[in-house]
Amino acid sequence: MRQGPDSASFEKPAEAYDRFVGRYGPSLARALIERVGLPPGSCVLDVGCGPGQLTAALAEAFGAGNVSAVDPSGPFAQACGERIPEADVRIAVNRSTPAACPF
Protein backbone atom coordinates (compact mmCIF):
# COMPACT_ATOMS: atom_id res chain seq x y z
CA MET A 1 0.00 0.00 0.00
CA ARG A 2 1.27 3.46 -0.90
CA GLN A 3 2.04 5.62 2.10
CA GLY A 4 0.44 9.05 2.50
CA PRO A 5 2.51 12.24 2.67
CA ASP A 6 2.25 12.46 6.46
CA SER A 7 3.21 8.84 6.91
CA ALA A 8 6.39 7.51 8.45
CA SER A 9 8.27 7.76 5.13
CA PHE A 10 10.25 10.76 6.41
CA GLU A 11 10.87 9.36 9.89
CA LYS A 12 14.58 9.07 9.07
CA PRO A 13 17.73 10.48 10.64
CA ALA A 14 18.35 14.01 9.37
CA GLU A 15 21.91 13.06 8.34
CA ALA A 16 20.59 10.46 5.89
CA TYR A 17 18.45 13.12 4.20
CA ASP A 18 21.37 15.57 4.18
CA ARG A 19 23.54 13.08 2.26
CA PHE A 20 20.81 12.31 -0.28
CA VAL A 21 18.45 15.16 -1.26
CA GLY A 22 19.87 17.65 1.18
CA ARG A 23 23.14 18.15 -0.68
CA TYR A 24 21.20 20.19 -3.26
CA GLY A 25 19.40 22.14 -0.54
CA PRO A 26 21.46 25.30 -0.17
CA SER A 27 21.58 26.16 -3.88
CA LEU A 28 17.89 25.29 -4.41
CA ALA A 29 16.91 27.32 -1.35
CA ARG A 30 18.78 30.39 -2.53
CA ALA A 31 17.21 30.14 -6.01
CA LEU A 32 13.71 29.76 -4.56
CA ILE A 33 14.06 32.72 -2.22
CA GLU A 34 15.37 34.86 -5.07
CA ARG A 35 12.51 33.75 -7.36
CA VAL A 36 9.79 34.52 -4.81
CA GLY A 37 11.24 37.96 -4.22
CA LEU A 38 9.79 38.76 -0.81
CA PRO A 39 10.98 42.02 0.78
CA PRO A 40 13.56 41.89 3.61
CA GLY A 41 12.00 41.35 7.03
CA SER A 42 9.06 39.31 5.66
CA CYS A 43 7.56 36.67 7.96
CA VAL A 44 7.72 33.29 6.30
CA LEU A 45 6.36 29.80 6.99
CA ASP A 46 8.29 26.80 5.68
CA VAL A 47 5.78 23.94 5.30
CA GLY A 48 7.57 20.60 5.05
CA CYS A 49 10.83 22.00 6.38
CA GLY A 50 12.57 18.64 6.70
CA PRO A 51 15.92 18.93 8.51
CA GLY A 52 16.05 22.64 7.67
CA GLN A 53 17.94 23.36 4.46
CA LEU A 54 15.40 25.91 3.22
CA THR A 55 14.64 27.06 6.76
CA ALA A 56 18.30 27.97 7.30
CA ALA A 57 18.39 29.95 4.06
CA LEU A 58 15.14 31.71 5.02
CA ALA A 59 16.63 32.59 8.40
CA GLU A 60 19.67 34.07 6.68
CA ALA A 61 17.51 36.07 4.27
CA PHE A 62 14.75 37.29 6.59
CA GLY A 63 16.08 36.81 10.12
CA ALA A 64 15.47 33.65 12.15
CA GLY A 65 12.89 35.41 14.31
CA ASN A 66 10.74 35.92 11.21
CA VAL A 67 10.78 32.24 10.28
CA SER A 68 8.32 29.52 11.28
CA ALA A 69 8.67 25.95 10.07
CA VAL A 70 6.62 22.76 10.34
CA ASP A 71 7.16 19.14 9.46
CA PRO A 72 5.30 15.96 10.50
CA SER A 73 8.57 14.04 10.90
CA GLY A 74 9.82 14.14 14.48
CA PRO A 75 13.51 13.59 13.62
CA PHE A 76 13.42 16.19 10.84
CA ALA A 77 11.61 18.84 12.89
CA GLN A 78 13.98 18.24 15.81
CA ALA A 79 17.05 18.61 13.59
CA CYS A 80 15.61 21.77 12.02
CA GLY A 81 14.94 23.27 15.46
CA GLU A 82 18.47 22.47 16.61
CA ARG A 83 20.02 23.92 13.46
CA ILE A 84 17.99 27.15 13.55
CA PRO A 85 17.22 27.61 17.26
CA GLU A 86 15.76 31.10 16.92
CA ALA A 87 13.14 29.98 14.40
CA ASP A 88 9.75 28.71 15.56
CA VAL A 89 9.92 25.05 14.51
CA ARG A 90 7.08 22.64 15.27
CA ILE A 91 5.92 19.14 14.45
CA ALA A 92 2.76 19.66 12.38
CA VAL A 93 1.01 18.39 9.26
CA ASN A 94 -0.36 20.57 6.50
CA ARG A 95 -3.75 19.12 5.63
CA SER A 96 -5.00 21.84 3.27
CA THR A 97 -3.26 24.63 1.41
CA PRO A 98 -5.55 27.41 0.14
CA ALA A 99 -5.96 27.51 -3.63
CA ALA A 100 -4.84 31.14 -3.58
CA CYS A 101 -1.38 30.09 -2.46
CA PRO A 102 0.97 31.18 -5.30
CA PHE A 103 3.21 28.14 -4.88
Ligand X SMILES: C[S@@+](CC[C@H](N)C(=O)[O-])C[C@H]1O[C@@H](n2cnc3c(N)ncnc32)[C@H](O)[C@@H]1O
CB atoms closer than 10 angstroms to residue 92: 15
Q: Specify whether the CB–CB gap between 58 and 50 falls below 8 A.
A: no
Could you tell me the smallest distance in angstroms from the CB atom of residue 48 to ligand X?
A: 3
Could you tell me the smallest distance in angstroms from the CB atom of residue 46 to ligand X?
A: 6
- Residue 38 CA to residue 58 CA, distance in Å, equals 11
26-30 contact pairs (CB < 8 A, 24+): 26/53, 26/56, 26/57, 28/53, 28/54, 29/53, 29/54, 29/56, 29/57, 29/58, 30/57
Residues that bind ligand X (CB under 6 A): 5-6, 10, 21-22, 25, 47-50, 53-54, 70-73, 76, 93-94
Could you tell me the smallest distance in angstroms from the CB atom of residue 52 to ligand X?
A: 7
| Distance, C-alpha 9 to centroid of its chain | 16
User: In the complex, which residue's CB is closest to ligand X?
Assistant: 50
| 17 vs 66 by CB, closer to ligand X | 17
| 25 vs 81 by CB, closer to ligand X | 25
Could you tell me the smallest distance in angstroms from the CB atom of residue 74 to ligand X?
A: 10
| 66 vs 72 by CB, closer to ligand X | 72
